């Protein structure tokens, strides 16, 4: 089962596991648990529970490999970032990118570098 783009909604705990898999897949449960213990302090049982839930949601899958299952992400980092961004815009700014940029510009006093970066992005999009 693969997660649909608009169904991707990672919790912060799931995000940590996905980052680990995006960076180093394939990994076994033991390898993921060791990484999570160092990063979060989670017990192996916590990591195993999260992996099981994420597999059910279609975020990752495994292949049998020797002594242990090897886990892979089913969704790409870029897909998750896009889905999370769209969700964020929808929830906080009623889907309006302009409203978000306006809010950030007024609250953060954009630097000249950031303004140039935004202008370059917009100029590039106009040329498409």
CB atoms within 10 A of CB 104: 13
Distance CA 87, CA 85 (A): 5
66-106: pLDDT as tens digits: 899 999 999 999 999 999 999 999 999 999 989 998 888 88
Q: What is the pTM of this model?
A: 0.79
Over residues 22-30, mean pLDDT: 96
């Amino acid at each position: 089962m693969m997660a649909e783009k608009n169904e991707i909604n990672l919790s912060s705990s799931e995000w940590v596991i996905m980052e680990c898999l995006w960076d180093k897949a394939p990994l076994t449960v033991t390898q993921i648990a060791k990484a999570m213990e160092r990063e979060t302090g989670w017990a192996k049982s916590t990591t195993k529970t999260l992996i099981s839930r994420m597999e059910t949601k279609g975020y990752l899958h495994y292949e049998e490999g020797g002594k242990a299952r090897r886990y892979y992400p089913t969704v790409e980092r870029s897909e998750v970032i896009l889905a999370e961004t769209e969700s964020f815009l929808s929830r906080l700014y009623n889907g309006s990118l302009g409203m978000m940029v306006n809010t950030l510009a007024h609250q953060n006093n954009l630097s000249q570098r950031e303004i140039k970066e935004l202008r370059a992005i917009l100029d590039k999009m106009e040329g498409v």
